[in-house]
Structure 1
Amino acid sequence: MPATYYPAIIDRSASGLGVTFPDFPGCVANGATVNEAALNAEGALALHVAAMVKDKDNLPAPSALDDIEAVDGADDVAYLLIRVDAPLKVERVLVSLDGNLLRAIDAVAPNRSAWIADAARAALARQGYGTFLGPSEKGAFGGHPMAQALEEVERGIAEVVALAMGNKQQKDIIA
């Protein structure tokens, strides 16, 4: 996925630190510290972009950070660029899989390609790749709101591997 960087503004308010995105009105994040606000901004923008892609909305071109103007009365703390991995067009590929693994996937997935893509995303997230899915002290998915869904996909992968290998103990391969 190609990386695109969108500007974000972290400002201080009575309730803490807030983050807004000039290119995405309505997309906001917050945090108790600048670091926390920046990390939460990454997750919020990724979820916002994912929803836009799902709804087939066009993503705006990123504004230049130098063009962002201060808002009167705002207590701006930082201007930063937030990376988003914008999805590309789906491509058809030929992959080879063990027959038992393929049958196990088909037994649990109504759409084989979507299931394999979700499994690949979860595996990449576990390895720290992604815009907001890197490992942290809160767990493999950093305590992000998508964590539960991704961890469920990961458990599903482990179960399919176990079924394909004929051994329930193999669940620990992925987990």
Structure 2
Amino acid sequence: MNEVTYPAVITKTQQGLRVDFPDLPDAFAHGENKQAAISNAQLALAMVIIDRQTHYEEVPTPSPLAQVAANHPEGQVNEITVDLDQY
């Protein structure tokens, strides 16, 4: 099992919810509801990390959840975990 966990900011949009990873700006997702948004965010997180690893690029260390929450008061901050071995 190769799990990673990163803080994510969930904000409401006209189309539903958007999930952004401040530590990985290339990883973002949308969903009509929270369950779909988180599922899509897990896929986006896995794809970006695996792509960086494949290209021998640095994968940043996850920021502390409290720091992300303080920097993004506009959204709900959650930790998103994904098992990279599933991809």
Q: Please state which band the TM-score falls in when normalised by the shorter chain.
A: 0.7 to 0.9
Deviation at 1:85, TM superposition (A): 4.1
Instruction: Report matched runs for 1:19-168 at 5 Å.
Output: 19-68=19-68, 69-70=71-72, 74=74, 76=75, 78-85=76-83, 130=86
Q: Calculate the TM-score normalised by the size of structure 1.
A: 0.44
Relative contact order (alpha carbons < 8 A, sep ≥ 6): 1 or 2 greater?
2
Alignment pair present for 1:14 and 2:14: yes
Deviation at 1:3, TM superposition (A): 2.5
| Structure with greater helix share of residues | 1
The runs of 5 or more residues in structure 1 that have no matched partner are: 87-120, 122-129, 134-175
**Alignment RMSD (CA, Å):** 1.9
Displacement over 2 Å in runs of 4+:
1-4
Q: Does the residue aligned with 2:7 lie in a helix, a strand or coil? A: strand
Equivalent residues, number: 85
Cα distance in 1 for partners of 2:72, 2:81 equals 21
Structure of larger gyration radius: 1
- Over the matched positions of the two proteins, sequence identity in percent amounts to 32
